[in-house]
Amino acid sequence: TGSPAAADGEPADADPAAGQPAVAGWTLDFMRRRNGGFRGVVEFLIASAALGAQEEGAKFLSLSGAPLARLDRGEDFGALQKLLDYAGKALEPVYGFRSLFAFKAKFQPAYEPLYMAYPDPAALPAIGNAIGRAYLPHMTAGQGLRLARKLVA
């Protein structure tokens, strides 16, 4: 069971200030235009969703992240960030991280960093595999090996 819902869909007794869960905003994700779909349809849908969220009193609307793409602020990064930048550049033709980032920039977002927490550096290969499968679910083992060789070369 759950708490009775108020008119806005929140539990009637939700109190975010007291650490009780409440919806403060929305995230839009998995935005795709079908081949043959009219240009501008995704932009229209995002704008419509933003207006609807605003009318509902949402404090924010997130367009989610663009993995392996980032705002270039001229900062000096360590080896891990350089490796991630290289992977993003190499994988751009396969996934389009940077083109997704550029698309989302049209909406003049406020950029917030995204972090990944993991229990142990030894878990990173398994995490990388899981993330790869999430973004490229139909990639075969052979295709994955060829892509890995290309990334390392």
DSSP 122: G
Please state the domain extents for the chain: 1-64
> What end-to-end distance do the CA atoms of the chain give, in Å?
55
Task: State pTM to two decimals.
Answer: 0.65
Tens-digit pLDDT profile for residues 54-106: 999 999 999 988 888 887 777 777 887 888 888 888 888 877 888 889 999 99
Three-point CA angle 103, 46, 112, nearest 5°: 60
Statement: residue 4 has pLDDT above 50: no
Q: How far apart are CA 124 and CA 146, in angstroms?
A: 20
- Is residue 69 within 8 A of residue 97, CB to CB? The reply is yes
Query: At 1, is the pLDDT very low, low, confident or very high (cuts 50, 70, 90)?
Result: very low
